[in-house]
Structure 1
């Protein structure tokens, strides 16, 4: 073989090797592209599945919410139809928690009164922070003998030789209602209770009354 023919053969072989390499590269490229496409399709299907699940859950939640709303409206309507004329249907709906709490409070009160010390014909009066001999701005203004501030519906003054300080005091009014107070103040003598009120006119209006009073000492309450 001449040198020219040999050179041509070597060039042809080199070109064929190059073509073969290119073919292998293209094949590998196609393989990578197919894998990538497969992965993309898989992810797309997964996202579509999740989207369908989310839509289904939202739909069920909406159905449940609508059902509850309709049930509540029907309940209110039925109660409104059944309520007497002039009575608010909302007020006619029983509040179980409040009723249970009231019942428990009544039981506690009854148990305390059963073992309480009773004072019949106890002198009951009312006082305000202004009637305690202290001026507004005085650091002791509105402060009881115990050091606690006066509180409406809670504070009362007693003679500690009759009713110990910090006792629970129960005052029964003429109508039969019973108010529970706390003996944190002093300033009265004998069988007497002075109830705090922030309203001076109310204190004057109530005046002096002879009522039945029970008291339970702090030790007895703790036990």
Structure 2
């Protein structure tokens, strides 16, 4: 082999070594880049899975809270008597005690009251008093006080003094307390005010037991 050929061969070998070194470096860098990309992708997937698990856990927690609240409200509703508020209710003992006190007061008043057996009881409305709406005296009783539902009753002042407390026992045993502030009836009779004309007609005329307690300063 000539010297030129030998030199050429050495140059080629040196270039091949450099090329191999360069390729190794390039491949190494490429592998590093791919490794970084792979690691980043793995981290992204882990974060996505973690976010999915968190969302799933949050929804499960919210669903459990809603179900628990619904169950609690249903239990409270089932345990609450009809007509009583599930949020706040009056203690039973207080209600019983108040009713007992009211019954004692009522019994004491009836014991000292004047009684009228077979008293004629009727019902009237503001429209049946001979006055029309717009009249200044419409809905005004003989005493000057306005009529009141389940309060006002008309009496004969010669039998029951004006402003007396009147107790009427209905056929079902219930006793209602009224106030004698109106007149317009004669004898043993009581006329009860109601704003409902149809109700007055349905009640008609009844014979009931009536008690009355005169106001202070009026001799019985």
Give me the TM-score of the superposition, normalised by structure 2.
0.59
Which structure: greater helix fraction? 1
Question: Equivalent residue for 2:166?
Answer: 169
The 2-side partners of 1:144 and 1:123 are apart by 20
Q: What is the CA-CA distance between 1:87 and the residue it aligns to? A: 9.9
Structure 2 alignment gaps of length 5 or more = 1-71
Q: Secondary structure at the match of 1:175?
A: coil
Question: Equivalent residue for 1:125?
Answer: 122
Question: Equivalent residue for 1:115?
Answer: 112
Task: Give the 5 Å matches for 1:1-223.
Answer: 80=79, 90=86, 94-219=91-216
Deviations 1:46-104 (A, max 9, x none): xxxxxxxxxxxxxxxxxxxxxxxxxxx8xx86x93xx89x8979599743433332222
Structure number with larger C-alpha Rg:
2
Q: What is the CA-CA distance between 1:128 and the residue it aligns to? A: 0.2
The 2-side partners of 1:133 and 1:157 are apart by 15
Q: Secondary structure at the match of 2:216?
A: helix
Q: What is the CA-CA distance between 1:107 and the residue it aligns to? A: 1.1
Give me the TM-score of the superposition, normalised by structure 1.
0.58
Q: Secondary structure at the match of 1:218?
A: coil
| Greater than 4 Å deviation, 4+ residue runs | 86-93
